Structure 1
Amino acid sequence: MPTCPAPVRPLDDAAAAALTSLAAGLLADHASAVSPALLTALPGACDRLPDAVRHALRPVDTDDGLFVLRGLRLDDRELGPTPGHWSDAGDAGALWDVTLLLVSALMGTPIAWDGQQDGRFVHNIVPSPGHESEQTGASSEVLLTPHTEDAFHPGRAHLLLLCCMRNHDRVATTAASVRRTALDPADVERLRRPVAPILPDDAYEEARRFAGRPDPVPTLFAAPDGLTLRFDPAYTPLDGADAGWREAYGRLGAELARVSVAVSLEPGDVLVVDNDVVVHGRVPFTARYDGTDRWLKRASARVTGRPTRPAAERGEHGYGQAALTAWPV
């Protein structure tokens, strides 16, 4: 797997300082990164950012479907220890919560989920004891299978953002763009049919107890600018699918593995992923649980009017989960 050929968009020192200074001011004004008033203040705050920041945060514009925003300065000594669980994080790294919210708001509307991490708009992704083998962000010892973020839900994010707080072991995030694959047209046609459902992952306990019948969904879509996908093999039951569809699904997985790249984020890096084009995962690692483990902040955003998904998705039940938006849209 190639290591870190991801496009990098640099922020110069002045642009990085403008972004973090604005975040610090918002945090001081509102006292907490989870303040509803801070969320509603984001669009107006973004208007004050310089053109250099806006240029760096223009839409994803290559078939790679991702980029790394680099140039933000983060002092490991000021962070405190890596939390042992997301619920232990409290206000740790709050400045970076607000910085990531600003980055998200420049690109779309930040979203959260009432059933995940207490409805927070910025999640802490850390390895947690007892979760080592799960297919969630709290795992460590297993390959986190490449997937579309929140693939089970029709209101999933268009953009996924991962900000690196700490990564002493250079644990790699994996990413693969469907637009870099070489798929047989017949397989594309098969996978455009809604055959198998995608179930909620283990991070959504309430959604996993949903009593309604799962909705079969297409895996591939034809958008105006190329193929998009909705893919989460760890949570896709294939038993009800015909053999031809299962074989096509397997070939898609093999192609995504072939074009996958490994991105080792540095502290302060923000990886921006087009969630309609790129599946992401993580290589296995051994957690120490000593306060020095890998620590990411995660945010999600929707882009209004983006024509990347079929209209039929709007009729899905979403397993009873509701997406929260930072402000009315």
Structure 2
Amino acid sequence: MPTCPAPVRHLDADAVAELTTTAAELLAFHGSATSPALLTDLPTACARLAEPLRHQLRPVDTADGLFVLRGLEVDDTDLGPTPDHWSTVGDAGALWDVVLLLVSTAMGTPIAWDGQQDGRFVHNIVPSPGHESEQTGASSSVLLTPHTEDAFHPGRAHLLLLCCMRNHDAVATTAAGVRLADLSAADVDQLKRPVAPILPDDAYEQARKFAGRPAPVPTLFETPEGLTMRYDPAYTPLDGADQDWREAYRRLGEELARVCVAVALEPGDVLVVDNDLVVHGRVPFRARYDGTDRWLKRASARVEGRPTRPLAEHDEHGYGQAALTAWVD
């Protein structure tokens, strides 16, 4: 698996200063990165950013479907120890929550989920004792299977942003783009059929208890710009699928593995992933739980008006989960 050939956008010193100063001013004025008033102020603050910086903060615009925003620097000492659960983070790294919200707002509209991490718009991804072998961000000892984020839900994000706080062990995030995969027309046609459902992952306890019947969804969808994807094999039951579909699904997985890259994020790096084009995962690692483990912050954004998803998604129940938006237009 290649290591870090991902496209990189470098922020110069002036851009870094402007972005972090704007974030610090918002945090100081509102007192908390989770303040609803701060969320409402994000579009105005973004509009004041200089045009060169806003250009660097544009959404993904290549077939790779991802890039690394580089130039921000995180002080490891000021950050404090890596918590062992998202619920114990408190205000640690709050400045970076706001930085990530500003970057997300420059690209779209930040979203959150009422059933995940108490509805926060920035999630903390840390290894947690007792969750080592799960297929969630709290795991460590197993491969986090490549997937599109929140694939079970029709309101899932168009863009996923991962900001690295700490990564002493160079634990790699994996990524693979569907438009780089070599798929036959027959396999594409198979995977455009809504054959198998995608179930909520273990991070959504309420959604997993939803009483509604799971509905099959397409894996691939064609747009004027090319293929898009909705994919989470760890939570896709295949028992009811026909053999031709299962074989096409297997070949898609093999192709995604072939084009997969490994991105070892450095502190301050922000990996931006187009969630319609790219699956992401993580290699296994050994968590120490000594305050030095890998720590990422995660944000999600929608880009309104993108023709990347079937209209039929509007009729899905979303397993009872509601997506929250940072502000009301």
Sort the TM-score into its range (normalised by shorter chain).
Answer: over 0.9
Tell me if structure 2 keeps the 8 A contact 1:81–1:292: yes
Match of 1:210 in 2: 210
The Cα offsets for residues 249-304 of structure 1, whole Å up to 9 and x where unpaired, read as 00000000000000000000000000000000000000000000000000000001
Amino acid at match of 1:9: R
Match of 1:55 in 2: 55
Tell me if structure 2 keeps the 8 A contact 1:11–1:52: no
Amino acid at match of 2:190: R
Gaps of 5+ in 2: none
Give the 5 Å matches for 1:200-239: 200-239=200-239
SS of structure 2 residue aligned to 1:157:
coil
Under a length normalisation based on structure 2, what TM-score does the superposition of the two structures give? 0.99
Give the 5 Å matches for 1:133-144: 133-144=133-144
User: Distance in 2 between the 1:103 and 1:61 partners?
Assistant: 15
Match of 1:198 in 2: 198
SS of structure 2 residue aligned to 1:97:
helix
Alignment: residue pair count: 329
Match of 2:172 in 1: 172
Amino acid at match of 2:140: S
Amino acid at match of 1:326: A
The Cα offsets for residues 36-68 of structure 1, whole Å up to 9 and x where unpaired, read as 000000000001111221111122111100000
Match of 2:265 in 1: 265
Gaps of 5+ in 1: none
User: Distance in 1 between the 2:218 and 2:249 partners?
Assistant: 11
Q: Do structure 1's residue 324 and structure 2's residue 324 form an aligned pair?
A: yes
User: Distance in 2 between the 1:58 and 1:302 partners?
Assistant: 13
Match of 2:254 in 1: 254
The Cα offsets for residues 144-163 of structure 1, whole Å up to 9 and x where unpaired, read as 00000000000000000000
Match of 1:29 in 2: 29
Aligned residues: percent identity? 81
Match of 2:74 in 1: 74
Tell me by how many angstroms 1:242 deviates. Answer: 0.3
SS of structure 2 residue aligned to 1:276:
coil
After alignment, is 59-68 or 112-121 more displaced?
A: 59-68
Match of 1:107 in 2: 107
Tell me if structure 2 keeps the 8 A contact 1:198–1:237: yes
SS of structure 2 residue aligned to 1:111:
strand
Q: Do structure 1's residue 119 and structure 2's residue 145 form an aligned pair?
A: no
User: Distance in 1 between the 2:72 and 2:319 partners?
Assistant: 38
Amino acid at match of 1:42: L
Match of 2:156 in 1: 156
Tell me if structure 2 keeps the 8 A contact 1:143–1:284: yes
Match of 1:44 in 2: 44
User: Distance in 2 between the 1:75 and 1:205 partners?
Assistant: 34
Match of 1:241 in 2: 241
Match of 1:7 in 2: 7
Tell me if structure 2 keeps the 8 A contact 1:8–1:70: yes
Tell me if structure 2 keeps the 8 A contact 1:163–1:268: yes
